[in-house]
Amino acid sequence: MLRGTQETEIKLVAPDAADARRLLRKAGFRVARRRVFEANTVFDTADRGLRQANLLLRVRETPGADTFTFKGPPLAAKHKTREELELTLSSAATCGLILRRLGYVPAFRYEKYRTEFRLPGTSGVATLDETPIGIYLELEGSPRWIDRMARRLGFREQDYITASYGRLYLDWCAARKIEPEHMVFR
């Protein structure tokens, strides 16, 4: 099943998961999908050609809902907007094997716990992502919706993050003088 063609989103740093949940509830958001563990594997060519072209191939494993995602290059703006094509998988392992047979290699793994929230009567989605490098709120929807919801949650445009989790992890490692490996829970 093919889903989506474009995503527009931002990330916001939250001090901790409990505060983020309280903030979302206070703003009227309700849990739409309970907290689940996600294991993501980004595939690339051996020479990292996809990364250099700002393209992404990802296999995401979650309980009962594995997905394969292609993301195109992001447009430069205050929100990250890029083409996103997703397929629901019957087997993440088989998809990974197909990608390997086509010459792609696992380049980066990252994990997170994700809870999805929705505000009744609106079309966007807010997610609470608990990662090994911090807690993030992600707002995805129209640019106007994102700006309204960010303000409603008490954030300003200068708080917007458009970097990927891969980039955030590399920056986190550099700040701590740690050799990057994979962004996984220990």
Euclidean distance between CA atoms 67 and 57, whole angstroms: 11
Give the pairing type, strands 2-3 and 105-118. Answer: unpaired
Per-residue HEC secondary structure of 59-74 comes to: EEECCCCCEEEEECCC
Euclidean distance between CA atoms 181 and 179, whole angstroms: 7
Residue ranges per structural domain of the chain: 2-176
User: pTM higher than 0.85, yes or no?
Assistant: yes
Encode pLDDT of 34-67 as tens digits: 999 999 999 999 999 999 999 999 999 999 889 9
Domain at 2-176, CATH class: mainly beta
Residue 154 above 90 pLDDT? yes
Euclidean distance between CA atoms 38 and 71, whole angstroms: 18
Encode pLDDT of 163-177 as tens digits: 999 999 999 999 999
Least confident of 72-76, 93-97, 116-120, 136-140: 72-76
Q: Look at residue 76 in the predicted model and tell me its pLDDT.
A: 81
**Structure tokens given for 176:** 């701590």
Residue 100: which pLDDT band, with cuts at 50, 70 and 90? very high
Euclidean distance between CA atoms 15 and 113, whole angstroms: 16
Which residues have C-beta within 8 Å of that of residue 158, sequence separation ≥ 6?
none
Mean pLDDT on 92-100: 97
Q: Look at residue 4 in the predicted model and tell me its pLDDT.
A: 58
Q: Look at residue 61 in the predicted model and tell me its pLDDT.
A: 97
Rounded alpha-carbon distances, angstroms, from residue 63 to 17, 36, 113: 21, 7, 12
Q: Look at residue 64 in the predicted model and tell me its pLDDT.
A: 85
3-state SS assignment for residue 47: coil
Encode pLDDT of 11-30 as tens digits: 999 999 999 999 999 999 99
